[in-house]
A = this chain, B = another copy of it.
Amino acid sequence: MFYIIGLGLCDEKDITVRGLEAVKGCSRVYLEAYTSILMIQKEKLEAFYGKELIAADRDMVETESDEILRNADKEDIALLVVGDPFGATTHTDIVLRARSLKIPVRVVHNASIMNAVGACGLQLYNFGQTVSLVFFTETWKPDSFYDRIKENADLGMHTLVLLDIKVKEQSEENLARGRKIYEPPRYMSITQAVSQLAEIEEIRQSGTLDPHKTLAIAVSRVGGGEGQEKIVCGTLAELLSQPPEVFGEPLHSLVIVGKRLHYLEVEYAQAYAVNPETWRNVAHNAYGCALE
């Protein structure tokens, strides 16, 4: 059997009992370590499982799937992924490959940011499509995310914005010289995300991301409990003016609040507001939310 097991969002204890049992019975266990990171190190996971983990980067999962799947028709092999196996990054390719090799597959689901973002207090029902925001460079500022957010916003829906992660980046020099030396991982901060949104709003001018009339909620380490999870909300302008430590440690995500806002949601998130008064005022005046 080939298991793809979601690890959830925080640490070694977020695996399910079913997932843990499967890991313990596997002869090889791969840990996928590219799209997002748990808050803990591989060694801690290994100690908890009592198993050695084989690190599998993006290259390996994509190009060496046959090695990962080797003997999975006879033994149990697992691939561990952060979040859910069908969350922000899907694992359909390796499932397709397993199918073609007639290897049975079992997926063990878990929380991913795609559902745990509900922790910010907004109804998941009212989220539209999800958007990814990549690091802008001097010469490359892809802005199609703006159209997606606008499509959602025009219908009153919220948008979950996933922020870029750069893992295993090579400097231009190392790349040119073919040296497999990697830069330290980079995670987009809320400040950078909001300033990229502002940059494109400045060009497009549709008002979709008006800095003073658009509410947003920054989340990090959802489910991490006291001292880990951070939820901070306000207008885009307010979020931009906060010092970075306010938003906690990466990974961060950002929710652009749509017009379908219920007063109970405003109430709930108010506890996380940079300024509760602005929060309520904008919800009332710009969003037309009838507050009690």
Binding site for B on A (CB under 8 A): 6, 8-9, 12-18, 20-21, 84-88, 90, 92-93, 95-96, 99, 104, 106-112, 114-119, 121, 123-132, 151-152, 155, 157, 222-223, 225-226, 264-265, 267-268, 271
Contacts and interface: CB of A to CB of B under 8 A. Distances in A.
B107 A114 contact: no
Contacts of A15: 16-17
A114 B119 contact: no
Given A13-B16, A109-B222, A84 B116 contact: yes
B151 A88 contact: no
A267 B12 CA distance: 34
Contact of A124 (B87, B93, B109, B265): B87
B17 A86 contact: no
B13 A18 contact: yes
Contact of A118 (B87, B152, B265): B87
Main secondary structure of the interface of A (DSSP, over half): mixed
A292 to B, nearest CB: 13
Given A93-B264, A124-B86, A17 B13 contact: yes
A167 B90 CA distance: 34
Contact of A21 (B13, B110, B116): B13
B130 A157 contact: no
Nearest to A84: B115
A109 B116 contact: yes
Contacts of A108: 223
Given A16-B14, A92-B265, A95-B268, A115 B111 contact: yes
Contacts of A271: 99
A179 to B, nearest CB: 33
Instruction: Give how many copies assemble into the complex.
Output: 2
Given A106-B225, A129-B155, 17 more contacts: A13-B17, A13-B18, A14-B16, A16-B110, A17-B17, A86-B117, A87-B124, A88-B124, A90-B121, A108-B223, A109-B111, A109-B116, A111-B111, A112-B115, A114-B124, A125-B131, A127-B130
A110 B111 contact: yes
B265 A119 contact: no
A14 B14 contact: no
A92 B13 contact: no
A84 B115 CA distance: 8
A268 B157 contact: no
Nearest to A91: B118
In the complex, the 8 A-B pairs of residues with the closest C-beta atoms, listed nearest first: A86-B118, A109-B111, A13-B18, A115-B115, A109-B223, A13-B17, A114-B115, A109-B116
Contacts of A132: 125
